[in-house]
Amino acid sequence: MTATTERPETTLDPDLLVDGSMLIGGEWVPSSGGETIDVVNPATVQVLARVPRGNAADVDAAVRAAEQAFPAWRDLDATSRGRLLFRWADLIEQHGTALDQLESQEVGRPSWGPPPMAGQLRFIAGQADKVQGLSLPTYSPDQLGLTLREPYGVVGAIIPWNAPGPMFATEVGAAIAAGNTIVIKPAEDAPLTPLALAKLALEAGIPPGVVNVVTGYGGEAGAAIPAHPSIRRMGFTGSPQTGSLIMKACADNLVPLHLELGGKSPQVVFPDADLDAAVPAMVMGITLNTGQICAAGSRVVCLRSVHDELVDRLAAQMQRVRVGAWHEPVNMGPLISERQHQRVLGYIDLGREAGAEVVTGGGVPAGYDTGYFVEPTLFDNVAPDMRIAQEEIFGPVLSVIAVDDEAEAIEVANGTEYGLVASVWTNDVGTAVRMSRRLQAGQVAVNSPLGAGVIGGPFGGYKHSGFGRTMGADSVLEWTQVKTVSMRAAVPPVPRTRTPEDD
């Protein structure tokens, strides 16, 4: 691993930086409690901005604003709703560099170039006027049977900090394209990109109250959203533990939801894999965003015959990963927070204590006592039941598990509670087909680490990785409910009541 040592200065576009306020009903407001939360750059631990510490009263105000905005937004024709989303996407593209800098500084990642949000929104905007119902058969030629797909009303969403821009665009875009109005809470660690995107949504002409952003802590602002009596549907992205709490709140409130939760994604490597291509991709798959990606391929499940060469190559590749702050030519930044730093280092200790071998990495890089940096870490001799092989670490920690044959590879790959993404590295089409069918995951990627690259691929989990699918061609439909309409040309004759004369 190569470490850089310079300490960068903060550079944020004042046009996009929202400092000290959140968006309710088209107004930038403080929280009713008046308190704020510092948003920190995890590379320098500098405060970037402050956001309101929203509470249940703020969520209530946001829900009321969303309720007021709903009838006009629902009744706006779908083509016009789509056009406003396209305009929003154009503004995001125009501010692409500034948005990338903002997100990279609050999350702590190096630049990714133009952000994906504009493309995501255009894909969604194109669906707005393709929400269709059915015509249904009837018993009589005088009758029509139809289904209508209608928005739920005011919906809620809660998103995590690891990719706040894309999460915001996906949840908000699909929900409002369907005609809903939304109250969304970003994570306290990375709320600035969501606020900037909301600002651009207003500028694009999306009416006040359609998109409301309440910042704050999960247990306060977050918990108030699924518990609010006027919320009609929820989307949640985050950890399984919080997902379970949200689902309980939704159960109490009889609110349907989708959950996008974590992963412990396997990378299954067969001896015929092209290791020249696979190894850099696998290392990228666990170091991108410092391993803080739900889809990160965090377990290598390899056939024993390829094990030694693979481990040597993975270690060499990991040592080439440059670590540093966002503005430097680096591959990997710090973890998001002190809490995550402690958590990831704690898992590295757990792995050592359980008897796994640290091949490379295993601690804080030299010269990095400021910021939440950790080395890309490779564990070998990992047993499938070790905690580092079962639990989501959410850091750049890769565990290698050797297996004897394909059957054992499937058993180990499927042997966690998660099922988000599974990768297979092979040049044999038969192996690829069998594995694609047998792996329990919402996405299977052959010769690719994260399952990306498919346009409109539905994204979501099996098992404890959640349920519901986002990002696909049906993502707007997820935010609609179906109404059956039965329509007669005339009031049908009612059967005559029997009278005494009939007998």
Q: Give the number of other Cβ atoms within 10 Å of residue 211's Cβ.
A: 28
CB of 57 to ligand NAP, least distance (A): 16
Active site residue 27: no
User: Taking CB under 6 A as the rule, does residue 162 contact ligand NAP?
Assistant: yes
Within residues 239-258, the interface with ligand NAP by CB under 6 A covers 239, 242, 245-246
82 vs 226 by CB, closer to ligand NAP: 226
* Cβ closest to ligand NAP, residue 179 vs residue 186: 186
Question: If DSSP codes are grouped into helix, strand and coil, which group holds residue 480?
Answer: strand
DSSP string, 27-67: EEE--TT--EEEEE-TTT--EEEEEE---HHHHHHHHHHHH
Number of residues that bind Mg ion (CB under 5 A): 2
Does 218 participate in binding ligand NAP (rule CB under 6 A)?
yes
Out of 238, 361, 451, 472, point to the residue binding ligand NAP (CB under 6 A): 238
Q: Given the rule CB under 6 A, which of 231-239, 321-329, 444-452, 493-501 is the region that contacts ligand NAP?
A: 231-239
- Of 364-393, which residues contact ligand NAP (CB under 6 A)? 392
Judged by beta carbon, residue 40 or residue 323, the one nearer Mg ion is: 40
Tokens representing residue 178 in the block: 């369907």
Residue 404: which residues within 8 A CB-CB, separation 6 or more? 303, 304
Q: Closest Cα partner for 24 from 208, 216, 262?
A: 208
Say which entry of Mg ion, ligand NAP, none residue 294 contacts (CB below 5 to 8 A, set by partner kind): ligand NAP
Q: 98 or 378: whose CB is closer to Mg ion?
A: 98
Please state the closest distance from residue 160 (CB atom) to Mg ion, in A.
Answer: 12
User: Interior CA angle at 296 toward 109 and 383, to 5°?
Assistant: 130
Per CB under 5 A, the segment of 188-196, 237-245, 357-365, 431-439 that binds Mg ion is 188-196
Q: Are strands 257-260 and 466-467 parallel, antiparallel or unpaired?
A: antiparallel
Identify whether 302 is a catalytic site residue.
no
Tally Cβ neighbours within 10 Å of residue 68: 14
237 binds, among Mg ion, ligand NAP, none (CB under 5 to 8 A by kind): ligand NAP
Beta carbon of residue 242, minimum distance to ligand NAP (angstroms, whole number): 3
Nearest distance from C-beta of residue 222 to ligand NAP, angstroms: 2
Work out the end-to-end distance of the chain between its first and last CA atoms, rounded to an integer number of angstroms.
99
CA 95 to CA 203: how far, in whole Å? 12
Q: Which of residues 452-481 bind ligand NAP (CB under 6 A)?
A: 461, 466
State the SS3 of 255-273.
Answer: CCEEEECCCCEEEEECCCC
Contact characters 60-99, ligand NAP, x per CB under 6 A: ----------------------------------------
Single out the residue of 24, 40, 65, 192 in contact with Mg ion (rule: CB under 5 A): 40
CA–CA separation, 82 and 68 (whole Å):
21
Minimum gap (Å) between residue 455 Cβ and ligand NAP:
18
Based on the shown chain and the rule CB under 6 A, indicate whether residue 285 belongs to the binding site for ligand NAP.
no
Contacts of 333 (CB under 8 A, 6+ apart): 42, 43, 104, 107, 108, 109, 110, 290, 323, 324, 325, 326, 373
Residue 160 touches ligand NAP, criterion: CB under 6 A = yes
> Contact between 189 and Mg ion (CB under 5 A)?
yes
**Catalytic option among 220, 260, 375, 478:** 260
Instruction: Report how far residue 361's alpha carbon sits from residue 54's, in angstroms, rounded to the nearest whole number.
Output: 39
- By a kind-dependent CB cut-off of 5 to 8 A, residue 40 interacts, out of Mg ion, ligand NAP, none, with Mg ion
Q: Judge contact between 155 and 12, C-beta under 8 A.
A: no
Is residue 397 part of the contact set for Mg ion (CB under 5 A)? Answer: no
Residue from 372, 394, 425, 479 in contact with ligand NAP (CB under 6 A): 394
Smallest gap, in angstroms, from Cβ of residue 115 to Mg ion? 18
- The radius of gyration of the chain from alpha carbons, rounded to an integer in Å, stands at 25
Encoded tokens for 448: 């690719």
Q: How far apart are CA 387 and CA 239, in angstroms?
A: 17
Q: Please, is 482 exposed, middle or buried when counting C-beta atoms within 10 Å of its C-beta (0-12, 13-18, 19+)? A: exposed
Size of the site for ligand NAP (CB under 6 A): 29
Q: Taking CB under 6 A as the rule, does residue 237 contact ligand NAP?
A: yes
Hey, what are 261's tokens?
Answer: 């939760």
Contact partner, 380, from Mg ion, ligand NAP, none, Cβ < 5-8 Å per class: none
Numbers of helices and strands, H then E, in the chain: 14, 22
Site for ligand NAP in 178-207 (CB under 6 A): 185, 187-188
**Structure tokens that stand for 482 in this block:** 């179906």
The active-site residue out of 106, 171, 250, 294 is 294
Contact between residue 171 and residue 155 where contact means Cβ atoms under 8 Å apart:
no
Contact window for Mg ion (CB under 5 A) among 38-46, 125-133, 228-236, 307-315: 38-46
**Residue 137 Cβ, how far from ligand NAP at the closest point, in Å?**
39
- Give residues in contact with ligand NAP (CB under 6 A): 158-162, 185, 187-188, 217-219, 222-223, 237-239, 242, 245-246, 260-263, 294, 392, 394, 420, 461, 466
Q: Which residues are catalytic?
A: 260, 294
- Give residues in contact with Mg ion (CB under 5 A): 40, 189
